[in-house]
Structure 1
Amino acid sequence: MRFQEVFWKKSVVFVFSGKLVYNRGMYSRQFREPPEHLVQNGKAHFGCYEGVSALTDIRGMRAPYAGVPVPSIISNLRIKSRLEYVFSLKDFIGLSQFYDFKVLGLGEIIFWNKETGKKYVYHTIMTPRRRFVPVLTTKGICASYKRSRFIKISWGRQHKHHALTFKVKGDNARPNAEGYVYSPLTDDMHTDSLFVSPSPASMRCSATWFSSMKTLGHIAINGEPVQDSEGLGMMILNRAYYKFHSKSSSVYGIGNVHNKNIVFYINTSNMDAADSDSYNSNILVVDGKKTALPPVYMTHPFGIDKNWIIQDTESMVDLTFTPLSVNSRTLNLIALRTSYYTMYGTFEGVLLTSDGEKIILKNFPGMLHKGMLRL
C-alpha cells in the first residue's frame, strides 16, 4: 500500500513510498468552567478549569483505596493538604509552605538574598487543630501564631487579594526577620486555575488551585528600615488522597524576560494521573495569559545539588535548572517522616506558549522543591 495514515497521540504520520512525513500538532488542554462541587456521588469532576470552585473539597470519593468500600470517615483521614506562596521582590526570592497532616501541621518560610545568595530558613510545628489549610477559596487564612514563628498566608479571591505576612525570631544561626508581600487590587497578572486529576486512577483525586499575581512588599532583617518594592508571586493549594509513601518534585519560575512578566509551575510525583497528558497541574503564565503545559520528566544525572534537566515529549518544555543554594531537612515524628530539599537557582532553556511563542530563558530566577513523605 503506497499510502497509509496513522494517528498516534497528537502526531499524524504519512507514509509515501516508504518515506515518513510527520505533521505534529501542538499539545493543548482547554480550560473550562469549574464545577460547583469537585466530588459528587462518589466521583470527581476531572479536568482543567478557568477560575476555581468555591471549595477545594475532595471528600466523598467512593472506595479510594484498593477499591475497598471503607467508611468515608476513615478514607478522609488520608486526605492531606499543602499550601505554598512563592514570591520574588527586588532583593529577595522565597517560598512559604504549610503542610496539613490532620494530627499536626508544619510551616516554613525560606528566602534568599538575590545579590549575595545568603539563605534564611525558619521552621515551625503546629499542634493539632480541626483544619490547618482551609477548603474555602473565596477567603481564608492559614497561619502559625507562635510568637517566635508568626507566619500567615491569606486570601480574598473576590478582591484578587493574596498576602504573606511573617515575623520570626532568630537565634545563633539566623537573624530576626519580618516582612509582608501582597497582591495589589489592580493586577493584570492575576489568574486563577483549578486542576482536578486522577491520583493516579479515578478512585482517588488530587485538586490543585493555582494563582499568579503581581506583588508589593518588603523583607527586613533585624529591623532595618526598607521600602516596598514590586515583584511577582504565585500561590498553590493542593489537596489529595496521599499514598503511604509519596514523592514529588516541583519547580517554580518567577521573573521578567524582555519586559514580559513570567510565572510557571511544574510538578511531577508518584501520584500523577495514569493519563498525565490529559490531567496535570503544570502551567505557564505570560503577562496574565495562561498556557497549560504537558507532563515532564525531571532528572538530576550528576546529583541533587547539580544541574536538573526538565523536559517533556511535546517540545514545549526544555529547561535546565542550576542550583545556587540548597537547603535540606529531615523530620521524624512518630508515624510521620518527611525529607526534602529546597533550592534557589536559575533556569536556562525554552518554554512554548499555546500561541506558539518561544520564551527563551537565560539566568532566569526560580526554585526547585524535592520532597519525600511517609505516613
Structure 2
Amino acid sequence: MKEYFREILSNPLDLVTAGQINFGCFPDSISNINYLDANRPFGIPTPKAFKYLRLKEWQAFQLGNKDFFILIAVYNAKLISINQFILYDKINKQLFKYEQRAPFWKTKIANNLLNSESKFSNKNFKIEIFNNLVNNLVSIKVDIKKTGKLPPIKANFEIKVQNKLSKAIVVSIPFGKNRGMYSFKNLAPVNGKLEHGKAKVYFKSENSFSIMDDHKGYYPYNMKYDWVTGASIEKGELIGFNLTNNQSINPEKFNENGLWKGNKLYLLPPVKFIRPNGTDNEWLIRDQYNMVELSFFPEVHNKIKFNIVALKSDYSGP
C-alpha cells in the first residue's frame, strides 16, 4: 500500500485572495480570516450580511489531566449562540454541565489568534478567551454563578501554544468551488486553577494538556461531521490526536487529521467512523492506509438539540 502524503503549502497573507478562498494545509495560523470577501460561496451573488449570517464560528478547548476533563466552548451559529463549560470528574464519574444560549450578537468570536478576544458574558455566566499568538500565549477566564444544583465555577488557564511552524493543524477545506471551512488546532501544556464550589484543582504544565480549536466555515444547511480528539502525557511526553470526517469534497487532500507526538505533528489520512450499536456505544475509527485503528468507548454524553426557524441541531458528543 502506498504511503500517505498531504502537501503543506506556504501561508497566504489572507484566507481569501481576490474573492477566492485559499484551500490547503498550512504551517501556521492565517492572520486574516476574511471569509466575507469570498465571491459567491453559495453559487449566487449574496450580500456580506447574508454571508455573515451563514458563517459558523467557534473557539473551543479540551483541557485535562489524570483526574479531570474540561470542555470550554463559545459557539456562534448565528441566530443563536451556545456557550459551554463542561467538567467531568473521571475519578467519581460525575459530569457538571454549564450552558448559556443567547442571541448570536451576544457572543464574540475572534477574527484571528494574533491579538484578539473571544467571549460571552452576562451577570451569571462569563467565558473570556484572550489570544496572543504573537507571544505564543492563550489565556482563559471563567466565572459562572451557582446554577440550580450546580456549584459556582471560577477558573483561570494559561496555555503556552506550540506555535512553531507545522506544530498546529491548520487547514482550509473546500465544501464546494468557493465554499469551505478554516480550522487551527493545537496541542499544548496548560497551567491553571479551577474552583468548583469549595474544591480547588490545579493544572500544571508537566501533567496537564490543552487542545484548542479555532474554527470558522460556510457549512451546508445540513451540517454533518464525525469527530474525536484526545491527549495524554506519557513519561513526560505530550501526545494527542485529532480525527474528523466532515463534508470535504476531497478528504484525501483536504482534512484536519493529525497526531502530535515528540513535539512533532504527523498528518493522517481520511478516516471513517463506524458505530455498529449507535453513538452511545463503541466507535470504530479506521483509514485505508493502516495508520489509524482506534476504538472509542463513550462514558458520558453531551447532546445539543434545538430547532429555530431555519436552524436545527441534533448533536451528540461524548
Q: TM-score, normalised by structure 2?
A: 0.91
Higher strand share: 1
| Counterpart for residue 259 of structure 2 | 284
Matched, 1:29 2:6: yes
Distance in 2, matches of 1:220 and 1:294, equals 40
Question: What CA deviation, in whole Å up to 9, does each residue of 1:96-127 have, x standing for no partner?
Answer: 11211334421111121121121110001233
CA distance in 1, matches of 2:109, 2:301: 27
Change (3 A) 1:190 1:149: farther
Q: What does residue 195 of structure 2 align with? A: 220
The 3-state SS of whatever aligns with 1:153 is strand
Letter in structure 1 aligned against 2:273: M
Change over 3 Å in CA distance of 1:187–1:80 after alignment to 2: closer
Within 5 A, what are the aligned runs for 1:15-54? 24-54=1-31
The structure-2 alpha-carbon separation of the partners of 1:132 and 1:237, relative to structure 1 and needing over 3 Å to count, comes to same
Deviation at 1:78, TM superposition (A): 1.4
Q: Does 1:115 align with 2:81?
A: no
C-alpha contact (below 8 Å) 1:97/1:107 kept by paired residues: yes
Counterpart residue number, 2:143: 167
Which residue number corresponds to residue 87 of structure 1? 63
- 1:229 aligns with 204
Larger Rg: 1
Large movers: runs of 4+ above 6 Å: 185-190
Shift of the alpha carbon at 1:316?
A: 1.1
Contact (CA 8 Å) 2:193, 2:200: kept in 1 or not?
Answer: no
Identity across the alignment (%) = 21
Go from structure 1 to structure 2 and tell me whether the alpha carbon gap of 1:177 and 1:72 turns closer, same or farther (over 3 Å shift).
closer
CA distance in 1, matches of 2:249, 2:311: 27
Give the Å deviation of 1:90: 4.3
By how many angstroms is 1:341 displaced?
Answer: 2.1
Structure 2 residue 127 is the aligned partner of structure 1 residue 158: no
The residue correspondences of 1:1-375 to structure 2 (distance < 5 A) are 24-65=1-42, 67-129=43-105, 132-184=108-160, 191-199=167-175, 201-230=176-205, 231-269=208-246, 272-343=247-318
Name the CA shift for 1:147/1:91 in 2 (closer, same or farther; >3 Å): farther
Cα RMSD between the aligned structures?
Answer: 2.4
Give 1:185 shift: 7.5
SS at match of 2:35: coil
Corresponding letter in the other structure for 1:205: G
* TM-score normalised per structure 1: 0.78
Q: Which runs of 5+ in 1 are unaligned?
A: 1-23, 344-375
| Contact 1:182 1:216 (8 Å CA) reproduced | yes
Give the gaps of 5 or more residues in structure 2: none
Instruction: For 1:241, give the aligned amino acid.
Output: Y
State the number of aligned residues.
Answer: 316
Q: Within 2, Cα distance between the matches of 1:246 and 1:285?
A: 27
